[in-house]
């Protein structure tokens, strides 16, 4: 198993402080060159399987045998996330598990995934870029409104809040306001190999459009869901999110892996 960055007692307070004050914090060089190369090799394999169109692989089973699975079960990474979560939330998470999601924007289907503003189910999110466009107008920059809400003690209020913000009409209105400059999200020019930490549960976030001819690939590590997945309403809402990802994947022609 690969060795990843260990938790530094001096780094964790800095990360939490920056996430509260600025909305996000960066660990530069979170992945070594060798780890980044291994990640890109797996990405290229999946890109070919998905006919150079958009796809999202969610959960450890979906990335089994890859560096992304190693990342999500690494003791070093799990310890780092646990310390950040504990310092920021003030209590241990319900589960120590890290939920990975490999996401690739490319082709015509990738363009449809831009400006999808949403809140994550997990409190803490790390965005790790693997491949990013560097030229042209459409680079798929990360945009977000940091820390708009607190962690809700009531699951149903959380679901209602997400339903209000993530429905089609709200998405169109937010996107229109952002394009007109009426709403000004924080924009981050992400760099491959760095890790960008933010409170995904509390921050409304999305990405700008990516050139269909380019590739934008990221892995997201989600940690610390405040609400139990055993609740029926929670399972239904999570099921909707997985169905959305599955339908997006099914828009592409999948090729047999080899």
Q: 36-95 pLDDT, tens per residue?
A: 999 999 999 999 999 989 999 999 999 999 999 999 999 999 999 999 999 999 998 989
Separation in Å, CA 183 to CA 86, 100, 239: 32, 30, 30
pTM, two decimal places:
0.88
- Half-sphere exposure of 250 toward its Cβ, with a 13 Å CA cutoff? 6
Report how far residue 143's alpha carbon sits from residue 147's, in angstroms, rounded to the nearest whole number: 13
Domain boundaries, the chain: 22-255
Closest CA to 96 of 113, 111, 110, 79: 79
- Report the relative pairing of strands 195-198 and 124-131 from DSSP bridges: antiparallel
Task: For domain 22-255, give its CATH number from 2.60.120.620, 3.20.20.70, 1.10.3210.50, 1.10.630.10.
Answer: 2.60.120.620
CA angle 152, 143, 23 (to 5 degrees): 50
Percent of the residues in the chain that have a pLDDT greater than 90, as a whole number: 67
What's the CA gap between 217 and 129, in Å, rounded?
Answer: 6
Helix, coil or strand: residue 3: coil
Going across the sheet that includes 204-207, the strands are: 186-188, 142-145, 204-207
Q: How far apart are CA 144 and CA 216, in angstroms?
A: 17
pLDDT tier at 5, thresholds 50, 70, 90: confident
């Amino acid at each position: 198993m690969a060795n990843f960055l260990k938790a530094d007692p001096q780094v964790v307070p800095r990360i939490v402080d920056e996430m509260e004050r600025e909305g996000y914090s960066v660990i530069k060089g979170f992945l070594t060159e060798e780890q980044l190369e291994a990640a890109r090799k797996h990405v290229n394999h999946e890109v070919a399987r998905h006919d150079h169109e958009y796809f999202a692989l969610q959960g450890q089973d979906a990335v089994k045998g890859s560096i992304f699975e190693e990342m999500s079960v690494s003791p070093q990474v799990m310890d780092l996330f646990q310390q950040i979560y504990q310092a920021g939330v003030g209590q241990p998470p319900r589960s120590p598990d890290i939920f990975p999601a490999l996401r690739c924007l490319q082709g015509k289907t990738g363009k449809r995934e831009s400006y999808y503003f949403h809140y994550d189910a997990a409190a803490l999110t790390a965005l790790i870029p693997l491949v990013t466009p560097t030229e042209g107008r459409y680079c798929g920059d990360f945009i977000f409104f940091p820390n708009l809400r607190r962690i809700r003690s009531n699951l149903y209020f959380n679901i209602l809040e997400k339903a209000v913000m993530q429905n089609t009409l709200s998405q169109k209105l937010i996107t229109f306001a952002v394009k007109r400059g009426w709403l000004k999200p924080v924009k981050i020019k992400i760099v491959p190999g760095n890790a960008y930490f933010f409170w995904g549960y509390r921050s409304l976030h999305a990405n700008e459009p990516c050139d269909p001819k380019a590739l934008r690939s990221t892995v997201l590590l989600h940690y610390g869901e405040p609400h139990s997945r055993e609740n029926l309403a929670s399972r239904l809402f999570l099921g909707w999110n997985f169905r959305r990802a599955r339908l997006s994947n099914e828009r592409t022609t999948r090729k047999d892996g080899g």
